[in-house]
Structure 1
Amino acid sequence: MRSTRGRSGVLLRFLAPWVAFPPLVATGAGLGYACGTVVAIIGVLVVGATLTVLLLRRLGNSLLIAMFLAGICGGGVGYEVSAAARLSAGKMLDLAVSEAPQHPEATLFRFRDGRVATGFSGHYERVRRSKNSTHRTNYYVAPLVPDDWILGQPVPAWVGSTEMNNPWHLPWRGGARVDVPDDPDNGFRRAIRECEARGLRGEAGAPILEWVQDPAGWPEKRVEKGLHISATLICMYYIGLIFRLAYEFLTRSSSV
C-alpha cells in the first residue's frame, strides 16, 4: 500500500506542471486578448493560487515549484498567444512608410521603402523601487522615415524596443504594431517626447512598431518564443525533480 502511494506521488509530481499549464495558458491568452495585460496577470495569479490550494496537500513542496514554473510558462505563453491574436486580427498592408499613419486598422506592415533613423533615437528609463529591490525598464524609440527624409519633416512612424541590442540597423522592411496605451506616462510615449524635444515632429497617427524581418510570420514567431522559454523552464523542473527523487531513493536505501 505504501509503495502504491509512493508511486502515485511520483506520478503526480511528474504531471503537476501539465495540470497547471493548460488552464494558465487559456487564462492568460483569453484575458490578455479581451481585457489587456494587467487583467490577464491577475487572472493567472488567481487560477494558479486556486490550483495550488486544491493540490498542495497531495504534492507538498514539489507542487509549489511546479506551479511557480507553470505559472511563468502559462502566463508567458498566454501573453504571446494574445499578442499574436491581436496582430492576426488586424490587417497586413504593403505600403510606403509615409502612408502608415493613414491606416490605424493595420497591425502588420511590409514597407516598400524606408529606413530607421537611428541617429535621432530617444530613450526613457523607468525606475521602480521597492523595499528590497530596484527594477529598471528601458524604452527605446527611433523614427522610421522615407529614404529621402530630412530633419524638420514629420515622422510617419516610430520603431520601439525595450532592448538596447535591437535590430534597427538591419535592412528589414517589416513592422508589427506595438500595443501601446494612449497614456502620456507610457514609456514609449515618454521616449518619443524626448525625440520631439530635440526637434523631431511625429505625424498624427504615427504607429509605434516592432522592427521585424517577416511581418506575415511574426505572430507565429511570438507564440514559438513563448513555447521555447516554457519548454526550457519545464525541462529544468524535471531535471531538478529527477535529482530529488534520486536523493530520496538513496536516502531510503541507506536507512534500510
Structure 2
Amino acid sequence: MQDPEPSSRTRSASTSSDQRENKKNNIRINESTKTLGKWELDPRQVALIEKSNLISLKDIGVTHIDCSLLRAFIGKWCKVTNTSWLTVGEMTPTLYDVWHILRILVIGKPVTGIRPKDYKAFIIEFLGNYHIGDKLNRLKHTWLRAKFEQLPKKPTKIKLLQHTRAYLLYLVGTTIFADTSQDSTLTSYLQLFGDLDEAEKYAWGATTLTFLYGSLSKIVDGDTHFSGSTTLLQRWIYEHFPALSSKPTTITIEMPRASKWKKQPRDLVTI
C-alpha cells in the first residue's frame, strides 16, 4: 500500500516554513564598522566627541560580525514580547545591558527631531557644504569621508565643528542607527549634533535599544535586513552565553564591555 500524499495544507505549511528558513539564512547585516578606524581624528575633535557621550562607539572600533550566531538567535525572536524564546526561558537585551556593553547613556532627553523643510539649507547650516545631484534626505558615507575626513591644518572653530558633526553622523549611521541603505545616513540626524553640549544629554542607549527591537521585529515579519547595533546584540549573547564567544580580553571597569572580545570568526552554532 502506498503512503497517502500530503494534503495541500501540509504542503503549504512546509513551503511557508522553508521560505521563512531561507529568509533567516539570507539576513544581511547593516552595521559596518570596518572603515571607522580609517577616519583620522584631531585631538580637538576627539574632545568634542567625548562631549557628545558617543566616544565609546569609536573606541569599540571594528567588530567581527558572527552571522551564524546572529541568525540562530534572531530565529528565536518574538516580536509580541520583544524577547528571545530560548530553551532556558525568555531573554532580551535591556537598558542595563546597553549601558554596560556600549557605555552610552540610557537616561536623558529623548532622541527626537523634525524633518527639514529645505534639506540644502539644513545641510549647509550644519556642515557648510552639500552634495550636488543626490537626494539630500540622506548623505552618502563616501561623500562624508571625502569632504570631512581630513581636517584643515588650521581650522576655524566653525570648521572644527562641521568636520566633527560629519564624523558623528557617520559614526551613528554605521553603528547604532545603521539601516537598510548601508551606504548612507538620514540627513535629519545632523540636528542632534548642532549643539554638542545638548548632544551629551540625549538617551542614546534607550534609542539604540528601541531601534534594535524594531529591526528584530521586522525580520520576524520577513525583512532580510538587520539594522541597528549588531555589536550590542552579539556582545549581549557573549555576555550571557560565554561558551559561544571567543576568549575575552582584560578590560578596565570604565571601558565598554563590548571591548572584551577580540575579532575572531566562529563556526555555525545554534542556541
* Pair in the same fold by TM > 0.5: no
Query: Which has more radius of gyration?
Result: 1
Higher strand share: 1
Higher helix share: 1
Normalised by the length of structure 2, the TM-score is 0.28
Normalised by the length of structure 1, the TM-score is 0.29
